[in-house]
A = this chain, B = another copy of it.
Amino acid sequence: MSTAEETGEDAPWGEVTPEAARRLLVAAVEAFAERGYHATTTRDIAGRAGMSPAALYIHYKTKEELLHRISRIGHDRALALLEAEAGGEAPAAERLAGAVRSFVRWHAERYTTARVVQYELDALSDEHRTEIIELRRQSDAVVRRIISEGVAAGEFDVPDVPGTTLAVLSLCIDVARWFNAQGSRTPEEVGALYADLVLRMVAAQK
């Protein structure tokens, strides 16, 4: 895991205990990102974590359980970041810019995790995929609400609110694909650039 992966939060995966379960989860993220979910075995994951397959089985019954845990934590985190910026009395432009900055920063700082979370949805069980899609609907609803409020307040001019919401989230999510910790822009710089571009997309009054 790159250094940038560690800087995003005080303790990434801090909610995963005991420490052995966390170590296995971090190993799974790395393995899925490098080789894809289907090419990774529980043996690979245990090996990366310096553990035996039997030790892995104490914490996770299946490989899909690991993916679900990663996806659930990632989606919960992304939704929480958006919700933290969405409320309050500030103008919609300020809230939308804050949500974009925060969401982009997460996708840049934790791009390895974000790629797994975004690209392996099809590998989840039907039940788990349904649960995750509901979290994605909630994220979409948070952004749509800010944009709608901005339109209602006369701050924004947006002919297609659902389409623009989709585009805003898509723009931010794709940061995980192209962002490279060795690149020339920091997560903060990308967040600031994208907040400006999104305010232009909604034609925010200056």
Contacts and interface: CB of A to CB of B under 8 A. Distances in A.
How many copies of this kind of chain does the complex include? 2
A167 B197 contact: yes
A1 interface: no
Contacts of A166: 178
A118 interface: yes
A170 B164 contact: no
B167 A171 contact: yes
Interface stretch (A6-14, A22-30, A35-43, A141-149): A35-43
Interface in A142-197: 159-160, 163-164, 166-167, 170-171, 173-175, 177-178, 185, 190, 193-194, 196-197
Contacts of A122: 34
Nearest to A174: B174
Interface string A113-138: 00000110010000000000000000
Contacts of A173: 174, 177
Contact of A178 (B159, B170, B178): B170
23 contacts: A35-B36, A35-B38, A36-B36, A36-B38, A37-B39, A38-B39, A39-B39, A119-B177, A163-B185, A163-B190, A164-B197, A166-B178, A167-B193, A167-B197, A170-B174, A170-B175, A171-B171, A171-B174, A174-B174, A174-B177, A200-B200, A200-B203, A201-B201
